[in-house]
Amino acid sequence: MEFRPCIDLHDGKVKQIVGSTLGHQDKSVVENFISDNDSSFFADMFKRDGLTGGHVIMLGSGNEEAALLALRTYPNGLQIGGGITSDNANKYIHSGASHIIVTSYIFHDGKLDMDRLEKLVQTVGKEHIVIDLSCKKVADKWFVVTDKWTKISDFEVNEASISFIEQYCDELLIHAVDVEGKRSGMQEELVRDLALWTTIPTTYAGGIRSLEDLQKFQSLTKGRLHITIGSSLDIFGGDLNYNEVVEFCAKKMKHRT
């Protein structure tokens, strides 16, 4: 179990927001935290602490400069997502991203677009691709939601679909949409399922708020999943000590080896 840090960018600033409030014209975005520090501050911190596989997410327009600054600060140590297509993916790889992260580009009109996915693989290679399966529970099943989590696709997340999608990427990033950014605890059923279904590096995001939650996560997954934490961390205005999280996960990794 590795700790995978995050740098979420909104309006050019490092923020923590409730992701499910994005993309609604009749609702305001709920902001949990706005940092006085720029993206390079956090990228340098993660580099100093030897954390790899963290993700930089551009939430809307106006974030490219801040994203590129983070990539330059920690080359090959961060992944990048948000508006990535086969047309611009190579630019970010050449700018220092280890991987590009995609959701809505390959899931549009409520369906998985295999033409786009295959073109992306041809463009940067599957070794540079992370597929973000943002999951929402509908009638006791998990479905991918897209377009800033406003549209439910017809792509059910289960053992068979995970096995299929893994052929086209190097890693998976799984957001638990209903709890992400709310500090309300993880979706335990999804966590257990993912630990059983996935065979490539997979990072879970959503709801972790304490060291007790981390311990439970490690127990539920038997260390098979990686974890990312945003709003709960003290570096992003929360109560969970960042250094304690880094130390906890490092000890678990050392124990496994």
Q: Output the six-digit token pair for 200.
A: 């490539």
Least confident range from 61-65, 177-181, 227-231: namely 177-181
pLDDT at 79: 98
The residues facing 141 across adjacent strands are: 138
> Rounded to two decimals, what is the model's pTM?
0.92
**Side chain identity, residue 93:** I
Alpha-carbon separation of residue 172 from 13, 77, 139, 175, 207 (angstroms): 26, 16, 24, 10, 18
Average pLDDT over every residue of 191-209:
95
User: For 6-256, which CATH class?
Assistant: alpha beta
Query: CB-based contacts of 214: which residues, under 8 Å, 6+ apart?
Result: 208, 227, 245, 248, 249
pLDDT at 13: 94
Query: CB-based contacts of 88: which residues, under 8 Å, 6+ apart?
Result: none
pLDDT at 50: 96
Kindly tell me if the per-residue pLDDT of 107 is higher than 80.
Answer: yes
Burial 12-43 (b: 16+ CB within 10 A, else e): bbbbbbbbbebbeeeeebebbbebeebbbbbb
CA 227 to chain centre: 9
pLDDT at 24: 41
Q: Output the six-digit token pair for 45.
A: 């911190």
Least confident range from 65-69, 117-121, 142-146: namely 142-146
Q: pLDDT tens digits for 126-142?
A: 999 999 998 998 989 99
